[in-house]
């Protein structure tokens, strides 16, 4: 729960904007390859302020059923109409107005981020201060996609470690796992390394996954089905490597079930996956109570979503380096006047200005905008 009281503000207008930013290198997971980040941005206008939100959804429903198109439709038809032109409310009050909408978590989270940015600007509070952050700098890891060869993976790891990243996450899939872990451990015996399977395995692969135990991995993320908790519990009982859940936890209800079932021992928190930053804080609180370490995941966000991720990662339960990497890990040019730059100690700063606390490079934003629409 957040402790600060936020101002009640009106939402007079809203816009949906799509930006297309090429990635510096293709990003391949067990479910597909991305070469650009096509991000939906939500802009809310009211009380003379503009709040910005970024939607986590990708183009294809490979990670979640939500897509760029589905989130635009949910925002334009249901979520934004629920708050547009209504009497002023604080962000929690505004988001209660779309709580009747089932699912569409990433769409809801994008609208909520914009409202929190607007409220933070009005109150002169940073998003981190609103959420209950306690850190000024965030230790960062990096998520490395499936590469064309093992050698290419090792080279990529070398490069990121030289930049200062503190933890390496490697995407894996059946057949690109044991050899990968062995090769990485041979070259980097003590580097904090983890794998992310994005649901590429079934419980029938338990023996193969158990063989990963010898490589002293920090964790394996989401090995089994995107909507499963029972098989993850059965798997965790058979392997020493901690299981970290991502796709399977979309709500506090899911997290409570995962804790009860012991479906894993660690949670990757993404505000988009759980319908917003406020729900993410409640899940963080429940994880602390359950003694589950958490870390902040990413969805290849532009600087706007990245600012929100860093604010979230400043909460006390985020004790592991997450996927909050610097702007240049993703983009040649981010949407910000000041990109997020990794310090030598492998940390990024938590923005301290009001709201998201970042200045958008509006000329560049205009150049990369491929769609702009007024809602309502
Ligand atoms: O599973 O965590 C994931 C990117 C897109 C979709 C799903 C995932 C990811 C990442 C990248 O791992 C994390 C990042 O650097 O933003
Ligand atoms: Mg993941």
Q: pLDDT per residue over 244-272, tens digit each?
A: 999 999 999 999 999 999 999 999 999 99
Query: Looking at residue 101, what is its pLDDT?
Result: 98
Q: What is the pTM of this model?
A: 0.98
Residue of 108, 169, 173, 270 marked catalytic = 270
Angle between helix 178-187 and helix 150-163 axes, rounded to 10 deg: 50
Cβ of residue 300 lying under 6 Å from some atom of ligand 1: yes
Ligand 1 atom closest to Cα of residue 62 = 6
What pLDDT band is residue 53 in, cutting at 50, 70 and 90? very high
Segment among 31-35, 99-103, 271-275, 334-338 with least mean pLDDT: 31-35
376 pLDDT higher than 90? no
Tell me if 247 sits within 8 A of 199, measured CB to CB: yes
Q: Could you say which of 3.40.630.30, 3.20.20.120, 3.55.50.30, 3.30.470.20 is the CATH number of the domain covering 130-349?
A: 3.20.20.120
Cβ of residue 272 lying under 6 Å from some atom of ligand 1: no
Place of tokens 């200062």: 164
Q: Which ligand is nearest to the CA of 60?
A: 1
Tell me if residue 135 is catalytic: no
List the chain domain ranges: 13-123+361-375, 130-349
Integer Cα distance of 367 and 10 in angstroms = 30
Tell me if 316 sits within 8 A of 148, measured CB to CB: no
The protein residue whose alpha carbon is closest to atom 13 in ligand 1 is 298
Convert the pLDDT of each residue in 57-81 to its tens digit. Answer: 999 999 999 999 999 999 999 999 9
Average pLDDT over residues 137-151: 97
Q: Hey, is 72 helix, strand or coil?
A: helix
Place of tokens 């809310």: 44
User: Measured in angstroms, how far is the CA atom of residue 122 from the centroid of ligand 1?
Assistant: 32
Cβ of residue 298 lying under 6 Å from some atom of ligand 1: yes
User: Measured in angstroms, how far is the CA atom of residue 17 from the centroid of ligand 2?
Assistant: 26
Ranges assigned E (strand) in 47-166: 49-54, 137-139, 141-144
Asked if the 13-123+361-375 domain carries CATH number 3.30.390.10, the reply is yes
Q: Which residue from 56, 54, 21, 51 is spatially nearest to 273, judged by alpha carbons?
A: 56
Integer Cα distance of 46 and 84 in angstroms = 10
Number of Cβ within 10 Å of residue 158's Cβ equals: 12
Convert the pLDDT of each residue in 276-308 to its tens digit. Answer: 999 999 999 999 999 999 999 999 999 999 999
Average pLDDT over residues 318-343: 98
Could you tell me the CA-to-CA distances from 8 to 32, 46, 87, 136, 307 in Å, in that order?
42, 11, 9, 27, 23
Q: Which of 167, 272, 297 to mutate to test the pocket of ligand 1 (most atoms within 8 A of CB)?
A: 297
Q: What is the mean pLDDT of the chain?
A: 98
What pLDDT band is residue 35 in, cutting at 50, 70 and 90? very high
């Amino acid at each position: 729960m957040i402790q600060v009281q936020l101002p009640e503000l009106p939402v007079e207008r809203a816009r949906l904007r799509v930006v297309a930013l090429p990635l510096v290198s293709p990003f391949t997971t067990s479910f597909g390859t991305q070469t650009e980040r096509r991000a939906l941005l939500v802009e809310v206008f009211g009380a003379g302020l503009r709040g910005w939100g970024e939607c986590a959804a990708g183009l294809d429903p490979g990670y979640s059923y939500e897509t760029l198109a589905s989130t635009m439709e949910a925002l334009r038809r249901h979520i934004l109409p629920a708050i547009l032109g209504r009497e002023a409310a604080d962000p929690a009050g505004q988001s209660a107005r779309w709580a009747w909408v089932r699912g569409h978590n990433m769409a809801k989270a994008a609208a909520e981020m914009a409202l929190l940015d607007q409220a933070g600007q009005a109150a002169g509070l940073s998003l981190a201060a609103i959420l209950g952050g306690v850190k000024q700098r965030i230790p960062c890891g990096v998520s490395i996609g499936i590469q064309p060869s093992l050698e290419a993976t090792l080279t990529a790891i070398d490069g990121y470690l030289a930049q200062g990243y503190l933890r390496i996450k490697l995407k894996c899939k059946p057949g690109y796992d044991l050899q990968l872990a062995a090769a990485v451990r041979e070259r980097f015996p003590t580097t904090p390394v983890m794998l992310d399977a994005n649901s590429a395995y079934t419980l029938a692969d338990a023996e193969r996954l158990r063989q990963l135990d010898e490589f002293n991995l920090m964790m394996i993320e989401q090995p089994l089905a995107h909507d499963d908790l029972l098989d993850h519990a059965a798997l965790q009982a058979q392997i020493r490597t901690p299981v970290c859940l991502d796709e399977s936890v979309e709500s506090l209800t899911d997290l409570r079930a995962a804790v009860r079932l012991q479906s894993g021992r660690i949670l990757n928190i993404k505000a988009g996956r759980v319908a917003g930053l406020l729900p993410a804080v409640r899940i963080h609180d429940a994880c602390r109570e359950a003694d589950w370490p958490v870390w902040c995941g990413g969805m290849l966000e532009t600087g706007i979503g990245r600012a929100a991720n860093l604010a979230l990662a400043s909460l006390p339960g985020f004790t592991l380096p997450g996927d909050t990497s610097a702007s240049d890990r993703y983009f040649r040019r981010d949407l910000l006047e000041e990109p997020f730059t990794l310090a030598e100690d492998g940390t990024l700063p938590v923005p301290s200005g009001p709201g998201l606390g970042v200045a958008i490079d509006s000329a560049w934003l205009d150049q990369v905008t491929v769609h702009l629409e007024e809602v309502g």
